[in-house]
Structure formats: structure tokens, C-alpha cells
Amino acid sequence: QVQLVESGGELVQAGGSLRLSCAASGRTFSSYAMGWFRQAPGKEREFVATISRGGGTTDYADSLKERFTISRDNAKNTVYLQMNSLKPEDTAVYFCAAREGWSLDRVVDDYNYWGQGTQVTVSS
């Protein structure tokens, strides 16, 4: 089992940048593919990005890949989400998640463990 704690969310102006972090504890971090998801009020949780166990392969939501970058540091048991050129529509609670398996995956239900989320608010 793995425990996940997100941080880094805050209020930012449109056009700004944020870096979210997700610290993992428990079982070996490098055993998990990691993902970031987000959920805006009244909307379903949606895929943002995912990264393979070793960090060599990534996948992004098509609308976000030009502005967001996922990375991980297995020595620090941490996964990151760098978000640039933020827009008001990026406002949401951002969750990190872990799944057991080798392949990248965009499906919410395929992830085994979730953090509590961190709020990102982008003002216009």
C-alpha cells in the first residue's frame, strides 16, 4: 500500500505557473505508475497526465500537453506537475494517484491509490 500527499496548490493569476508535488510513503514508490487528475466543481474527475515507473514515458491530456509537464524523482518518492500559462478553466482540485502496472493509463478507475487533493485556483 502507498500513501499520497499533494501540495503546492494555491491561488494564482491567469498566465502564472505552479508546481504541484505529491509525496509518497509506504511501499516502493518506483513500483507504481503515477498520474495526476483534476476535478472542477460539478464536473467529473478528469485525466491530466501520467508517468511510467522509471519516468521515461509520459502521457498527457491532449488539451494540456503544451502547458503541463509531469516528472518524478524516485529517490525522493515524489511526483511533480509543472503547470504553465495557467487559465481560469484550470481551476480544480488536483489529485495524484498511483497504480500497479507497467502501462500508462488515463482511466480513473484503474488507479489503486489516491491523495486527498490540492486546490488550484486561477483568477482572471
Closest CA to 46 of 112, 118, 123, 109: 109
Express each pLDDT in 19-28 by its tens digit.
Answer: 999 999 977 8
Mean of the per-residue pLDDT values for the chain? 96
Candidates 86, 95, 93; CA nearest to 122 is 86
Per-residue cell: 30: 518506483
CB 37 within 8 A of CB 29: no
* Predicted pLDDT at 7: 98
3-state secondary structure of 11: strand
**What digits encode the pLDDT tens for the residues 100-109?**
987 889 999 9
SS3 108: helix
